[in-house]
Amino acid sequence: NGVASLVDYPVTCAIVNGRRYALALNAVGHRPKLQFSCHAHDFGAAFVHKPGMTPLVHDLVVKNNDKEPYEIDCLFDHASSPWLAVGDSPASLQPGAEAKVPLTFTPDAAERYSTVVPFQVNGLYVVNVSVKGEGVPLRVEMIDRPVSGDVPFGRLRATQSATREFKFVNRSRLPATIRLDDACVEALEQHGVTPATKKDAGAIVIPRGGVGGVSLTYAPARRQREFTEEVKVIVEGVPRVVCSLSGACLGTELKLTTETVAFGTCTLGAASTRRVQLQNTGDVPTKFTFDRSRFTRDFTIFPHTGVVAPDTNAKIEITFHPAELSDDIRAEKIPCVVDGGEDLSMTLTGACAEAETSDENKLSFRVNVRSEATQSISVTNPTDTPWTLSPTFTTATTETEGGGDRTGGACEHWRGSEAIVVPAGGDATYDVVYAPLAMSTEDAAHHATLSIALPDGTV
């Protein structure tokens, strides 16, 4: 039962050249009642340890079932077995108490390991615990990794999505756990790339000789420049960059240089033209269409539809030709439909006034019936663009009959060229011919109005 007793054991103590003493010894002794949870532990196979891995740990429990406290010292030499780390042993273990001594297995090579961990009790009694294990290499490889190392999503539209799967084979002797690196997931989310399913977002256990993988989906919500991001996975706690991902989101974006075109005041019978640029700041050719039904009779646009190539501009000409006098002529928020992008709108405003007349602008003719007289007027072009103008004759007769204009010699008693070309920064002369076919009197003279509409909306 592990108990030894000593009853009246005779002992004689003799003094040289002196007296002798007889002693009787009595004692009771037993081995320390310390309970170790095990005296041998096999860690089995474990991956050769690398930084980041979670090592195998076994807690050796020591319990004092005795009535006396004991001092326990671990005599293990870590230098001789660096693959095993032994935690601190209790300096003093009180009766009924227990203590845990962690044993940590970190194999540094693919081989078998074995050692003995000695514990000394009260400096006299030694308890040995044998420990063994085996290191195996971690061999998890990506299947069909591209030579360039880049896995492209391609160039998508905002309404499209693409998924790429990354497969891995486990050639190790043990199951291997793999998951996406948290920092990698956060970086990919900035580009609109997320795990395809909840399963892909968590840890995946690949059995020995098995295949497993994760899938990532690129679903951009808006235009995005081309990006490249590393794909990092955690294999058994070890970070590993397996490839890179690239992609881009093609955007459709048109912009008007101005959304409001103000023509100012234009003379009745004249026309004014403004040019607006439609800029394609997107990545693909984009079609646009202005709703012509929203243009009033006072405005026209050319072209009202077309396609704009990326990084180019389309010139839109808008002409204001008021049909009647008004202080406020407008077309509000004319829609422009942009295929695959955000629609635009444009507002047009202007006013119409009568042409101003003065004695300086009057021509007087006196000639016999069925004869001709010619006078000239000068037109000055102060701009840097040549003008091609169309003169218009209006007679009192045409006004009485409903206001039709006569041009190019079609007006009764009056004629002139159908067009006049005024060079940039120069002058041009226009000849007005008076050729009466009937007699007139002082009270009923022949009258006509010559109008030459200028590009700035004046006459």
| Per-residue pLDDT tens digits for 335-394 | 999 987 889 999 999 998 887 665 556 788 888 888 888 888 888 888 888 888 878 777
For tokens 């009466």, the residue is 436
CB-based burial, 279-297: b 16+ in 10 Å, e otherwise? ebebbbebebebeeebbee
Residues of the chain with CATH 2.60.40.10: 35-136, 140-250, 254-353
- Which amino acid does the sequence have at 447? H
How much helix, strand and coil, in percent to the nearest 5, is found in the chain?
5, 55, 40
Give 36's strand partners: 62
pLDDT in tens, 96-124: 999 999 999 999 999 999 999 999 998 88
Q: What value does the mean pLDDT of the chain take?
A: 86
- Which amino acid does the sequence have at 109? A
Question: Which pairs count as long-range contacts for 289-294, CB under 8 Å and 24+ apart, including other chains?
Answer: 289/336, 289/337, 290/316, 290/334, 290/335, 290/336, 290/346, 291/334, 291/335, 291/336, 291/337, 294/331, 294/334, 294/335
Residue 287 and residue 265 in contact, taking contact as beta carbons nearer than 8 Å: no
Under the banding of pLDDT at 50, 70 and 90, the label for residue 57 is very high
* Residue 386, preceding peptide bond in cis (omega within 30° of 0): no
CATH 2.60.40 fits 360-452, yes or no: yes
| Two structure tokens written together for 29 | 């002794």
How far apart are alpha carbons 449 and 219 in whole angstroms? 67
Under the banding of pLDDT at 50, 70 and 90, the label for residue 278 is very high
For range 399-422, the mean pLDDT = 60
Calculate the dihedral angle through the C-alpha atoms of 404, 410, 414, 418, rounding to the nearest 10 degrees. Answer: 100
Distance of CA 419 to the CA centre of its chain: 57
CATH of 35-136, one of 3.90.230.10, 2.60.40.10, 1.10.10.10, 2.30.30.220: 2.60.40.10
* Bridge pairing between strands 260-267 and 344-353: parallel
The angle formed by the CA atoms of residues 99, 103 and 108, to the nearest 5 degrees, is 170
Residue 360 and residue 378 in contact, taking contact as beta carbons nearer than 8 Å: no
pLDDT in tens, 164-180: 999 999 999 999 999 99
CATH 2.40.30.200 fits 140-250, yes or no: no
Q: Which residues contact residue 134 at a Cβ distance below 8 angstroms, ignoring those fewer than 6 apart?
A: 43, 44, 45, 46, 107, 111, 112, 113
Return the CATH class of domain 254-353: mainly beta
